[in-house]
Amino acid sequence: MAEQAILSYLETHEEIADSGNFAAECGIDHAEIVNAIKSLHGFLYVESQDIKKETWVLTDEGKRYAAEGSPEVQLFLAVPAEGSIAKDELQKKFDPAIFKIGCSQAGKNKWVEMGRQVSRKVVQVEDKVKDLLLKIQKGQVCSFITCSADKCLKTWKGYSVRKGPSYAPQREKFATDLTRENLQSGDWKKLKFKEYNFNAKGPPSECGHLHPLNKMKDCIKRIFRMMGFEEMPTNRYVESSFWNFDALFQPQQHPARDSHDTFFLKTPSTTMQLPEDYVERVKQVHESGGYGSRGYNYEWKREEANKNLLRTHTTAISSRMLYKLAQDTKQNGFTPKKYFSIDRVFRNEAVDRTHLAEFHQIEGLICDRGLTLGHLIGVLEDFFKRLGMSNLRFKPAYNPYTEPSMEIFSYHEGFGKWVEIGNSGMFRPEMLQPMGFPEDVRVIAWGLSLERPTMILYGIDNIRDLFGHRVDLDLIKKSPLCLIGIK
Ligand code: FB9
């Protein structure tokens, strides 16, 4: 109906100047007219221009003052013409908002003497505010008014409409489907079919979306696999202190091993079994060294190693895998290995913009004869180059389980500064020898987080927006594909 009203009107008129007035004249709801204009526009029957009109409308507060008078006048009228009234008496007559505004406005207008007693300073007042609000209510445009609690500017949007390139007094109905009936009746011959809009976006597919962290994880797994690494099984968040710390030659009094940094388990509080012969060798190397090391010279406690915890790093998985590899070596001789892991690790840390009590650690290691620091630097440059980071710098660092150790930095053009992108080192002989590896077998390894590159790549500033209950699902839905390592 709206459509026909527009087409017939344009048959005899150049244009519809204002769709709002036109709707009023036709007695059709403006929204319906607007929808008709949009669809006729789609079929090129009409052309339309936006027209915006700003009109003042009263807020609910404004409607109240227009009805009951402005707070300051209400207050003035409540003050006796002669003498005074106690302020708290006066206050009882009004709701707090009105009283507050009334006092400050009446005070500002020097209408009343505001003290513990309130008295009038003028004989009478005029309620200009109420008058103005009434004018607005009647749609009388008033100049020089500003937005305030009682009134605001509402933008009204309408259209002016003219004939379009395919204008016709009647809109030809285009068939949008070729149905069996059309074919059987043969009326398909005379039907006009709607143009096929190849650019039409299909209905949004409400399908699942990968979390940006998983997109990044898949990219990095692809990079590792392309570099010939195989993934280590990380499906165990609960670990024994032995594999998480002791096997890595991390002394039992190391600060990271107390509950300020590590989540220890109440139940099951201790591990069930450990490879006894290997544990004995680990105990030895901690207490008195061996393999060229003098050890830590302290009394190593089995019960400490038995404590269960939430793993603080996936290096705990590396120690298990390397121990297994050393065992295999005894049976079947040594085979070099390249392993990687990407999974959650837990640290009892203060939560801030870039730290939660858990994050995803990425770890890579290569176990082979005669490996050197040069090999480590080489593989780091290859790995990070595929992540889009070159121009690396290495800073000597310390880890209980690697010597030498290096922090890795990359110059980030966007930030215009060097960013710490990871840590690395060569596993100590005190870790590898007790496992049973031949003397000349070396293991180079490195680690970084998954969250940091994901935050930087997806422009997420606060880790709590990336991970956890505050994540906005739209962010996940709209997050683009991760093309790292592909392009
Ligand atoms: O991820 C980190 N930084 C990073 C990584 C990539 C990146 O990409 C951008 C697109 C350009 C940006 C930043 N870091 C490691 C460095 C820092 O963020 C650091 O402050 C925080 N670290 C975590 C630990 O925090 C307590 C990141 C996490 C980390 C640190 C060390 C290891 C793993 C993760 C390790 C190791 C290791 C060392 C030797 C042998 C085996 C494993």
User: What is the per-residue pLDDT for 142?
Assistant: 55
Q: What's the whole-number mean pLDDT along residues 229-249? A: 98
Out of 215, 317, 448, mutate this one to test ligand 1's pocket (max ligand atoms within 8 Å of CB): namely 448
Q: Is the CB of 363 under 6 A from ligand 1?
A: yes
Mean pLDDT of 232-243: 97
Angle at 447 between CA 445 and CA 449, to 5 degrees: 170
* Residue 446 Cβ < 6 Å to ligand 1: yes
- Hey, whose CA ends up nearest to atom 8 of ligand 1? 453
Q: What is the pLDDT of residue 149?
A: 66
Residue 202 tokens read as 């299909």
Examine the pLDDT at 41 and tell me if it is beyond 60: yes
Query: pLDDT grade, residue 464 (50/70/90)?
Result: confident
Buried-exposed string 321-335: b where 16+ CB fall within 10 A, e elsewhere: bbbebbeebeeeebe
Q: What confidence score (pLDDT) does residue 216 get?
A: 94
Task: Report which listed range, 22-36, 88-102, 154-168, 223-237, is most confident.
Answer: 223-237
272 pLDDT higher than 80: yes
Asked whether the predicted pLDDT for residue 351 surpasses 90, the reply is: no
Query: Is the CB of 423 within 6 Å of ligand 1?
Result: yes
Smallest CA separation from ligand 1 atom 36, residue: 447
Whether 274 and 240 have beta carbons less than 8 Å apart is answered as yes
pLDDT band at 148 (very low <50, low <70, confident <90, very high): low
Query: Which residue among 217, 423, 428, 444 is best mutated to probe the pocket of ligand 1, counting the most ligand atoms within 8 A of its Cβ?
Result: 423
Closest CA to 408 of 426, 423, 425, 418: 423
454 lines ligand 1 (CB under 6 A): no
Residue 161 has pLDDT above 60, yes or no: yes
Residue 361 Cβ inside 6 Å of ligand 1? The answer reads: yes
Residue with tokens 């209510």: 137
Instruction: Quickly count: other Cβ atoms within 10 Å of residue 35's Cβ.
Output: 13
pLDDT tens for each residue of 273-311? 999 999 999 999 999 999 999 999 999 999 999 999 999
Q: What is the DSSP letter of 286?
A: H
Strand order in the sheet with 15-16: 15-16, 151-163, 46-58
Q: Residue 188 is which amino acid? A: W
Give pLDDT, residue 427.
Answer: 98
Is pLDDT above 60 for 143? no
Task: Identify whether the C-beta of residue 121 lies closer than 8 Å to the C-beta of residue 110.
Answer: yes
pLDDT at site 1: 82
148 beta partners: 151
Give the mean model confidence (pLDDT) for residues 349-375. 92
Whole-number pLDDT of residue 153: 66
Asked if residue 150 has pLDDT above 70, the reply is: no
Q: DSSP per residue over 176-210, as a string?
A: ----HHHHHHTGGGTPPBPPP-TTPPPPP------
Please tell me the distance between residue 449's alpha carbon and the centre of ligand 1 in angstroms. 5
For ligand 1, the distance from its centroid to the CA atom of residue 409, given in whole angstroms, is: 10
Phi, psi of 340 (to 5 degrees): -140, 160
Q: Residue 486 — very low, low, confident or very high, per pLDDT cuts 50/70/90?
A: low
- Ligand 1 atom closest to Cα of residue 363: 42
Mean pLDDT of 34-59: 86
Q: Give CA separation, 314 vs 17, 119, 231, 453, in Å.
A: 70, 77, 12, 18
Rg (CA), the chain: 38
Q: What is the band of 141 on the pLDDT scale with cuts at 50, 70, 90?
A: low
Ligand 1 contact via 432 beta carbon (within 6 Å): no
Round to whole Å and give the CA distance between 250 and 261: 14
pLDDT tens digits for 448-458?
999 999 998 88
Query: If you take atom 37 of ligand 1, which residue's CA is the nearest one?
Result: 447
Judge if the beta carbon of residue 445 lies within 6 A of ligand 1: yes
